[in-house]
Amino acid sequence: MDVDEFKRLYLQGVRNFSKVQLRKANLHQTNLSGANLIKADLHHANCSQANLSNANLYRANLSKTDLHQADLNGTILSEANLSRANLNRTSLIKADLSEADLTGAILNHAHLEGANLKGANLNHAHLSWANLRQADCYGANLQGADLSGTKFCHTRMPDGKLRNDDCP
């Protein structure tokens, strides 16, 4: 399926795109809210400023995907491959990123309030100035991650302890 057909079907009300192949697709500013993209391949796609809120991207391949300034609020990204993805200034409020691979991902200024990051691999991820208030990072790998300026309030850390550095 090519990008034009994909967009046309979405506009016609189709939401099930399980296992769709859209490598390197240009989905800049595309509305895909509520889409079922389970196991979709969006490797190296341009999804900047896209609306993927409440979409299901379980086990999707989003490695090297540009998702900067995208809306991923409430999105299921559990077990997804987001390694080296650009999530700069992305909104991931209450997103499910459990067991996701975020190795080397850029999450600077990302809004992860209430996000589920249980067991996620954030090895060498860039989280400077990210908002991790009320996020659950239990069992996550934060080795080598840049957490400079990151906001913590009622944040459950990998060891299970709460971090409240930035609570009012």
With a cut of 50, list the residues of the chain below it in pLDDT: none
Q: Please report the pLDDT score of residue 168 as a whole number.
A: 87
**Token digits for 10?**
């979405």
Mapping DSSP onto H, E and C, the string for the chain reads CCHHHHHHHHHCCCCECCCCECCCCECCCCECCCCECCCCECCCCECCCCECCCCECCCCECCCCECCCCECCCCECCCCECCCCECCCCECCCCECCCCECCCCECCCCECCCCECCCCECCCCECCCCECCCCECCCCECCCCECCCCECCCEECCCCCEECCCCC
Q: Please report the pLDDT score of residue 155 as a whole number.
A: 98
pLDDT digits (tens, 9 = 90+) for 25-44: 999 999 999 999 999 999 99
Yes or no: domain 1-10+18-162 corresponds to CATH 3.40.50.10540? no
Q: Please report the pLDDT score of residue 34 as a whole number.
A: 98
The residues, ordered by sequence, that sit 6+ positions from 128 with a Cβ below 8 Å of its Cβ are: 108, 109, 146, 147, 148, 149, 150
The residues, ordered by sequence, that sit 6+ positions from 41 with a Cβ below 8 Å of its Cβ are: 19, 20, 21, 22, 23, 60, 61
Is 0.85 topped by the overall pTM? Answer: yes
Q: Please report the pLDDT score of residue 151 as a whole number.
A: 98
